[in-house]
Amino acid sequence: MKAPFEKSYSDYQLQLTHQTGGDLEKKLRTALQAGQGPDIVVTPGPSYALQYVKAGMLENLTEWAEEISLKDRLVPWAYESGFYDGGLYSVPAEMETMLLFYNSDVFEKYGWGVPKNRNDLEAVASEAMSAGITPFAGGNQDWRAAVEWLMTSFWNSYAGPEALSKALRGEKPWTDAEFVEPVALLRDYFDKGWFQGSAKNYFATNGDDFRAEFGAGKAAMNIEGSWFLYSAEKFFDNPDGWDWTAMPPLSEAVQGDVYPLAVGSTFSVNAKSKIKNGAQSFIDWYFAEPGNGTKWNQALPAAIKPQVTAESELPSEMDERVRRLILDLVGEGSQATFGFATWTFWPPRTNTVIWEQLQRVLDGTVDPEDYMSVVAETFTQELDEGTVPKAFDPSK
């Protein structure tokens, strides 16, 4: 990244500082509050960037973005996500989505088709159980928040992006049936033993272990983020033994595939930076070409950028499964329907409630209705505080 950038912008030197250990977000906030910190501010997502915006720590990039026509390079939702109170303050650097991965060797052995709807999904799960195969691999022993991957998938595939967008804007209550019912459906799947055999097993299994079981054919499917694309080969002896599809619709309210969007990280410019032009130049360079700043020449690139990409710009050696996802998400003329990931579009405290309290739902301690009441109460507080990230219009 350093050499290619400096070759394009010889007036600047890119200094990369890697921080390890401790609370990195707290360290960054402390530095920015002191008028210091990096020129290019990197955050885990829009909700984090919003906190810095409200504190006056980030530069308004609107005029600069218009000068370089940044809007034309990015997919619409990505550009819109960085706005607050009419100004652009952050730009998504990479994107993620939730997918349904399946063991293609197991599917072929038992003659299962790729699920296209809820009936298909449940039929495969039931037949897998009868064959002694775990329907869905999973576990959150080493990352408790991983359980929200499931809630993200179920809300988007059951309630749908339109309903979620309205709720995120405060126009629809989270206690409506269309949000409560997918919680109950997820618990029903756990009660049937479809996820890792039981809730107890799920809570006691770490990421490497459940992925290894998936790769070994002990589990048929895995609901996980697109990041699994980059490590799947580690768990499969047969490199062609896995594939992905969008999570199928779980209710009649959803028609077709939905890709819940998450932002892996954002770029902003420190409002106190003495070389703002240099920081802006880096963002300009990063989005000048799809391969800039990524290991684009590998079969499995390090990240998917929210940048409009032509198929001809993708290297020939790229894995077909990755190529297909990139073109579905950001390819020229893409007609994909996008939804919302909890860790990107829900405010911080609500997001914590979602994954912490969901564990109590899945073990039978809390009812779905009570769970959503707590989610709704926390969300309303943060909506009043102005800390809810902007939800894009999924119809555009």
pLDDT tens digits along 243-296:
999 999 999 999 999 999 998 889 999 999 999 999 999 999 999 988 887 765
Kindly report which listed range (173-182, 200-209, 241-250, 294-303) carries the lowest average pLDDT score: 294-303
Superfamily of domain 96-259: Periplasmic binding protein-like II (3.40.190.10)
Q: Which residue has the higher pLDDT, 157 or 20?
A: 157
Candidates 244, 301, 312; CA nearest to 103 is 244
Domain ranges of the chain: 1-95+263-335, 96-259
Residue 142 has pLDDT above 60, yes or no: yes
Q: Residue 12 pLDDT > 70, yes or no?
A: yes
Q: Among 238, 211, 240, 241, which residue's Cα sits nearest to residue 225?
A: 211
d(CA 65, CA 89): 10
Q: How confident is the model at residue 152, as a pLDDT?
A: 98
Q: What per-residue confidence (pLDDT) applies to 212? A: 98
pLDDT of residue 292: 85
Angle between helical axes of 368-385 and 177-191 (0-180°, round to 10): 130
DSSP H helices in the chain = 2-8, 24-33, 46-54, 62-67, 70-73, 76-81, 104-110, 118-130, 147-158, 161-168, 177-191, 199-204, 207-215, 232-235, 276-286, 320-330, 342-345, 348-362, 368-385
C-alpha distances out from residue 41 to 30, 61, 153, 156, Å = 13, 13, 30, 30
DSSP 374-388: HHHHHHHHHHHHT-S
State the Cα–Cα distance between residues 288 and 283, nearest whole angstrom.
9
Give the tens place of pLDDT for each residue, 339-391.
999 999 999 899 999 999 999 999 999 999 999 999 999 999 999 999 999 89
Cβ-based neighbour number of residue 131 at 10 Å: 11
- The pLDDT, as a whole number, for residue 276 is 97
Total-model pTM: 0.92
| CA pair distance 97, 191, nearest whole angstrom | 26
pLDDT band per the 50, 70, 90 thresholds, residue 46:
confident
Q: Does the pLDDT of residue 298 top 60, yes or no?
A: no
* Residue 363, number of CB atoms within 10 A of its CB: 15
Q: Two tokens at 131? A: 């064959």
Q: Which residues pair with 339 in a beta bridge?
A: 260
Pairing assessment for the beta strands 91-103 and 219-225 based on DSSP bridges: antiparallel
Q: How confident is the model at residue 48 (pLDDT cuts 50, 70, 90)?
A: confident
Convert 171-192 to b/e letters by CB count within 10 Å (16 or more is b).
ebebeeebbbbbbbbbbebbee
pLDDT above 60: residue 22: no
Say if CB 290 and CB 73 are below 8 A apart: no
Residue linked to tokens 């990041």:
227
CA distance 370 to 388: 22
Of the candidate ranges 43-52, 213-222, 316-325, the one whose mean pLDDT is the lowest: 43-52
- The pLDDT of residue 104 is 98
The pLDDT confidence band at residue 60, using thresholds 50, 70 and 90, is very high
Residue 214 · residue 243 · CB < 8 Å = no
CA distance 236 to 253: 36
CA distance 39 to 62: 17
Q: Which of 210-219, 296-305, 377-386 has the lowest mean pLDDT?
A: 296-305
User: Quick one: fold of 1-95+263-335?
Assistant: D-Maltodextrin-Binding Protein; domain 2 (3.40.190)
Q: Rounded mean pLDDT of 106-120?
A: 98
Mean of all residue pLDDT scores within the chain: 93
Q: Is the pLDDT of residue 81 over 90?
A: no
Single out the residue of 257, 247, 263, 253 nearest to residue 154, CA to CA. 247
Give the number of C-alpha atoms closer than 13 A to the C-alpha of residue 119, restricted to the C-beta side.
1
Residues 6+ apart with CB under 8 A from 16: 1, 2
Q: Residue 359: how many CA atoms within 13 Å on its side-chain side? A: 17
What DSSP element (H or E) covers 99? strand 91-103
Same fold, 1-95+263-335 and 96-259: yes
Average confidence (pLDDT) over 325-348: 92
Q: For the chain, how are helix, strand and coil distributed in percent, rounded to 5? A: 45, 15, 40
Q: Could you tell me the end-to-end alpha-carbon distance of the chain, in angstroms, rounded to an integer? A: 33
pLDDT at residue 144 is higher than 70: yes
Q: Which of 72-76, 176-180, 183-187, 234-238 has the lowest mean pLDDT?
A: 72-76
